[in-house]
Structure 1
Amino acid sequence: MRIIYYINIKGEAKLLPEDKTNAPKIPSKRQNAILTDLADYLISAKGYSLNTIRSYQNDLIQFFRFLRRRFGQVDRDCPFEAIDISPIDFSLLSAVQLADIYAFLGYASVQRGNGNTTRKRKTAAIRALYHYLTVVLQLDMSDPTQNLEVPKIKQRDPIYLTLDEAMSLLNAIDGRNKERDLAIVTLFLNCGMRLSELTNLRLKDIQDETLHIVGKGNKERDVILNDACVNALEAYYPIRKQQIERIEAQSDKVVKVDDHLFLSSRGRGISNRMVEGMVHKYILKAGLDANKITVHKLRHTAATLMYKYGQVDIRTLQKVLGHENVSTTEIYTHIEDDDVRAALYKNPLAEFSPK
């Protein structure tokens, strides 16, 4: 049975059997067979995550709507979001030239306020589309993205918590879910996990103090748990067991036990949004800047503290964080600047001036 990846009206990726008659369909104006087939390819052959597929789908829906308007296939008065993309076919896509793509990226920048990072992702989505059409399907068309330049992104130093701030955050955790929440934040701060990596953890992913993580693009890595992580998890396991027993006792039906490591109050895997809300609450309680510190900044914190205090070399840090390219990891070497500056000022000749 063929599996189709639908993107519903909320932008959620759903895996649905092709012959499932009650399957929720995306609105027809957002539906296009080429996008569905591309999603099949990117997930099954390239191992892209559902989050990436969702972003690419939305980017290409915008691109398709822009093309229909640019090529005069819709009335100029038709609202952009109402443009039907179902008529987009191979013939229209084969007529696209490099100038059309740059026009779309210009529209994304000026009309939609997209920055370089977002436009870089849109560029990647369009490239993936034409790679699929010209290389995978081997259609008789040219690839207009061959000379497409990627928007340059100015690398910014990552925002992170200092050691004292990280300790304050951990000490702020309390309440009825203290053990669970403490285990979550401890893993973030010690293992440098991404949000989706944590919420997708299963019980089986922890074996002999080793954490098995499935990261971006389904790339797998193993991280050794330190004492803080082991202690936090051991404190959480009995609470998790009691929670499941309580849910089973309150239900008249057979309860299917969720194997996610971290559970919500209903006994289901905790969601990304729940974790974000929980972390936000404790950031405020710790007196930290909630506008700057997010869940992902805890990953930055783990990387920075490992590099600064753990004397971890850049290649090891790359492996721990699951970065494909070491250049991504190199942003954490910024913390050396403060140390170098302090060392220079401590030089006994720092205040020397010729007479």
Structure 2
Amino acid sequence: MGARVEEAAAAAGTRAGVGADDRAPLPDALAGPLEDYLRDLRLRRGLSPHTLRAYRTDLLGLLVHLHEHGVDDLADADLRDLRGWLAAEQAAGRARTTMQRRSAAVHGFFRWAEQTHRLPTDPSAALRSPRPHRRLPETLSQAEAQQLLEDAIAIAREDGGPVGLRDVALLEVLYATGVRVAELCGLDLGDLDRDRRVLRVFGKGAKERSVPLGVPALDALESWLARGRPALATAASGAATFVGERGGRLDPRVVRRIVHRALRTVDGAPDLGPHGLRHAMATHLLEGGADLRSVQEMLGHASLATTQIYTHVTDERLRSAYLQAHPRA
């Protein structure tokens, strides 16, 4: 069990985007299945390094718990062991959403182990976890979104450089399309269809979808591609639509900094980050009369239930407006 123990854990971590220093000394019968499962997720489902890292973190926590409690073979883990791990996580003060995510990761792992005949049965089948509180996502008002983009345009005009053009373009695209940060950074030059005014986007699990692009967003993107990108592009840029100041494909962390900085210019706006622009796009579409199924397709949600949270946001706004305006509310 010696040499392959750390090699398996390190290999699993490397493929998931986690460095070798983060590995855990697990026995083969635990580290091996984890390595194989992560490889399967990467190759079969095309999950991103960020998602794989989350799976690894959650499952590694469980496997370390099993190892510390004398379970050194996946086949020996039972429902009581899994419940003990969740209880320990809850006692450590984990949030309900974290508990739900980790429980889902465990279900997926053991279901895969049963389906691939590594286990005769799935011990997680009867595992339950706390249901997360369904909180309404904070979002921008339409006026705040408009102010955000107007401020960004004014700053870009004052600056006059390629970075300003890029920042306006990415803010416009995020709000116009509701794409995720990773999807924005993954855009290539060939993904823009100017005639149809749509972007081709590769979402979670490498699923492809087309999202419409409004005229202001298209104009900002065209300005960036014509006058901004050529000033920053290098051999390292490849086909990337958005590039950093050194020419490489733009990093999601840079996009987050840009969005946070832009939001600080809007009085009273919540500091939401890029995902907040995604929420705003969906909420404003529904407020304008778009149907839920169309919004689901634009956001790339696998389930309509995920999109339905935005109906609650719009309902809350309607209720608030009613209470403020109706004389007999």
Q: TM-score with structure 2 length normalisation?
A: 0.85
Contact 1:6–1:25 (8 Å) recurs in 2 = no
**Aligned positions of 1:286-297 closer than 5 A:** 286-289=266-269, 292-297=271-276
Contact 1:193–1:299 (8 Å) recurs in 2 = yes
Contact 2:45–2:205 (8 Å) recurs in 1 = yes
Contact 2:185–2:242 (8 Å) recurs in 1 = yes
Instruction: Give the drift of 1:159.
Output: 0.6
Question: 1:198 matched to which residue of 2?
Answer: 184
In structure 2, relative to structure 1, the CA distance for the partners of 1:157 and 1:140 (3 Å cut) is closer
Question: 1:279 matched to which residue of 2?
Answer: 259
Question: 1:81 matched to which residue of 2?
Answer: none
Instruction: Give the drift of 1:288.
Output: 4.2
Contact 1:192–1:302 (8 Å) recurs in 2 = yes
Q: Secondary structure at the match of 1:108?
A: helix
Question: 2:297 matched to which residue of 1?
Answer: 319
Question: 2:202 matched to which residue of 1?
Answer: 214
Question: 1:105 matched to which residue of 2?
Answer: 86
Q: Secondary structure at the match of 1:268?
A: coil
In structure 2, relative to structure 1, the CA distance for the partners of 1:95 and 1:168 (3 Å cut) is same
Question: 1:339 matched to which residue of 2?
Answer: 318
Counterparts of 2:326 and 2:257 in 1: how far apart (Å)?
A: 46
Contact 1:260–1:269 (8 Å) recurs in 2 = yes
- Structure 1 letter corresponding to 2:292: I
Q: Secondary structure at the match of 2:264?
A: helix
Question: 2:7 matched to which residue of 1?
Answer: none
Contact 1:5–1:39 (8 Å) recurs in 2 = no
In structure 2, relative to structure 1, the CA distance for the partners of 1:125 and 1:345 (3 Å cut) is closer
Q: Secondary structure at the match of 1:155?
A: coil
Structure 2 unpaired stretches of 5+: 1-9
Structure 1 residues 330-339 or 94-103, which shifts more?
330-339
Q: Which digits, 9 at most, give the CA deviation of each residue in 1:75-123, with x for residues without a partner? A: xxxxxxxxxxxxx5xxx21111111111111111222x32121111211
Q: Secondary structure at the match of 1:133?
A: helix
- Structure 1 letter corresponding to 2:83: Y
- Structure 2 letter corresponding to 1:13: G
- Structure 2 letter corresponding to 1:199: C
Q: Percent identity?
A: 27
Contact 1:5–1:40 (8 Å) recurs in 2 = no
Q: Which digits, 9 at most, give the CA deviation of each residue in 1:121-169, with x for residues without a partner? A: 2112212221222112x13532111111243112111110001111121
Question: 1:260 matched to which residue of 2?
Answer: 240
Contact 2:24–2:64 (8 Å) recurs in 1 = no
Instruction: Give the drift of 1:28.
Output: 5.4
In structure 2, relative to structure 1, the CA distance for the partners of 1:307 and 1:27 (3 Å cut) is closer
Counterparts of 1:289 and 1:338 in 2: how far apart (Å)?
A: 16
In structure 2, relative to structure 1, the CA distance for the partners of 1:6 and 1:101 (3 Å cut) is closer
Structure 1 unpaired stretches of 5+: 15-23, 74-87, 248-254
Question: 2:122 matched to which residue of 1?
Answer: 143
Q: Does 1:159 align with 2:176?
A: no
Counterparts of 1:320 and 1:30 in 2: how far apart (Å)?
A: 43
Question: 1:116 matched to which residue of 2?
Answer: 96
**Aligned positions of 1:47-62 closer than 5 A:** 47-62=46-61
Counterparts of 1:60 and 1:140 in 2: how far apart (Å)?
A: 16
Counterparts of 1:115 and 1:219 in 2: how far apart (Å)?
A: 30
Q: Secondary structure at the match of 1:29?
A: coil
Counterparts of 2:82 and 2:102 in 1: how far apart (Å)?
A: 10
- Structure 1 letter corresponding to 2:238: D
Instruction: Give the drift of 1:346.
Output: 6.1
Counterparts of 1:268 and 1:284 in 2: how far apart (Å)?
A: 27
Question: 2:4 matched to which residue of 1?
Answer: none
RMSD: 2.5
Query: Which structure: greater helix fraction?
Result: 2
Q: TM-score with structure 1 length normalisation?
A: 0.79
Instruction: Give the drift of 1:171.
Output: 2.1
In structure 2, relative to structure 1, the CA distance for the partners of 1:318 and 1:132 (3 Å cut) is same
Q: Which digits, 9 at most, give the CA deviation of each residue in 1:188-220, with x for residues without a partner? A: 111111111111111111123220111112222
Counterparts of 1:61 and 1:186 in 2: how far apart (Å)?
A: 39
- Structure 2 letter corresponding to 1:44: L
- Structure 2 letter corresponding to 1:104: W
Instruction: Give the drift of 1:66.
Output: 0.6
Counterparts of 2:186 and 2:281 in 1: how far apart (Å)?
A: 19
In structure 2, relative to structure 1, the CA distance for the partners of 1:29 and 1:153 (3 Å cut) is closer
Larger Rg: 1
Question: 2:175 matched to which residue of 1?
Answer: 189
Counterparts of 2:310 and 2:23 in 1: how far apart (Å)?
A: 45
How many pairs align?
A: 305
Contact 1:308–1:336 (8 Å) recurs in 2 = no
- Structure 2 letter corresponding to 1:278: I
Instruction: Give the drift of 1:345.
Output: 7.4
